[in-house]
Amino acid sequence: MIGSSIAVIGAGAGGLCTARAFLRRNPDASVAIFEAGSSVGGVWNYNYEQSDTQPMYKDLRTNLPKQVMGFREYPFTLGGEDSYVSHKFVSQYLKDYAEVSERAFWKTSMRAN
């Protein structure tokens, strides 16, 4: 698939993982990530002003341990000893993951309006 390009809808965990997997198999490809929100993280980004229209709430903690949620190549170390971390740590983890990935996904991504 040399010279291929794809669009990924959403810059949450699934979108970042999809883009990373595609680029691993197609290093010369182009990936554009479309995200309706203002940054990487998908539903893990909490916005107080929009709290009545989003699935996230202020005090939400994960229902899976962070050791299971982390990507294999990028361990989830945020949140100290707690396994069930707040949405703030998940959101930051996804942003950090996007920055350290082989390609800076956010540089090639676009925001949909």
pTM of the model: 0.79
pLDDT at 53 over 70: no
Q: What is the pLDDT of residues 26-42, one digit of tens each?
A: 888 888 888 877 788 88
Interval 59-89: pLDDT, tens? 888 999 999 999 888 899 999 999 999 999 9
Domain-by-domain residue ranges, the chain? 5-111
Secondary structure of the chain as H, E, C letters: CCCCEEEEECCCHHHHHHHHHHHHHCCCCEEEEEECCCCCCHHHCCCHHHCCCCCCCCCCECCCCHHHHCECCECCCCCCCCCCCEHHHHHHHHHHHHHHCCCCHHHHCEECC
User: Half-sphere exposure of 23 toward its Cβ, with a 13 Å CA cutoff?
Assistant: 19
